Structure 1
């Protein structure tokens, strides 16, 4: 059985905590999981140290960052205390398997992003499989099988350098339009701005009319607010999903 422990402090942001709690309740009802809320101030110093050690072990096991270094709040503060960010520990059958928020490959995944992925999946197992997919895995998948994105797509190149950055993958569609793809595990606000910035430099470098360029994001997860932002920016979004075959 999956269980979630959510550690909060008195000064944890109320709106963040409430969002996490609503999502945990939904997951409990839909996926037969359980959860508990733990007030850090109610714990003894020994109990807090035990939690810090659990977080350190999960950090090493999952090769993720959990100590704040000025790049956003993480479970352990610079002073080595449990932070007020709201710490989510996921256990399965009594064994702790993950902690959020964390940083991997310079990208942060928050507790609510992780829970949203679980909530939108048919079951927790599918969500865990999705988390094990890397951006490199997605790149190999869509470059080898462009039809995963849409029929008639032709792959051209990965990591295309243009002024201002690097485009993860470039395709052409059945109408000979160039399709610039940004690959992310969890699509974020800056990903939207980044893929938009590539359009003009790519057009200038390759002599392509901007009207013949499509923009897209391929991801494992994206929340509703960012999906709305993508629609407004004319960015197409494709969410890869593993399907269990009976």
Structure 2
């Protein structure tokens, strides 16, 4: 397996929450939309000051609603030197040139996000802890109940393993979601399985459960079997 390369992007991740007219977007999932118009304004509040525009096809996550206005969150990147007061870190290479390798996580990110958003919920992020050899994926789910959530956790683990096997070096796969009833913060519910156990028992849900650690309180307490 290849080593995980440090991110060489000298950019800043932005997660923004603003208001958007509900009729300006097409609904894909219960809380995931894509912009329908060629360009659409977004505002600080309903009928409030214009803050910018979103282009057709931009995906947004709904986090609230007021009348015909949708409060949303969108994730993206911006070129760091365009920001007032930005200072480039010495250990980051210029993303607009140079020979630094791209992280395998970033290379496979579009494929992973499509898998999660199309089938399982709303993608929140992925990270690799090289010291613990642990790959961690975060997503938000709807109100699906405990049993369906467990089936989904196994399916997500299988999908992530299929994408990153042989690409990223990791020994533990950790999936974090909100609660099974759709409430709470992402990270409240955790399923953690070793790669060896997932490869050996991933085709049988009951056996997989016996070899997976679960937490419903963000990792404060764990149950080997639920």
- Identify whether the pair has TM-score above 0.5, normalized to the shorter chain: no
Which one has a larger percent helix, Structure 1 or Structure 2?
Answer: 1
User: TM-score if structure 1 supplies the norm length?
Assistant: 0.28
Which one has a larger percent strand, Structure 1 or Structure 2?
Answer: 2
Relative contact order (C-alpha < 8 Å, sep 6+): which is higher?
Answer: 2
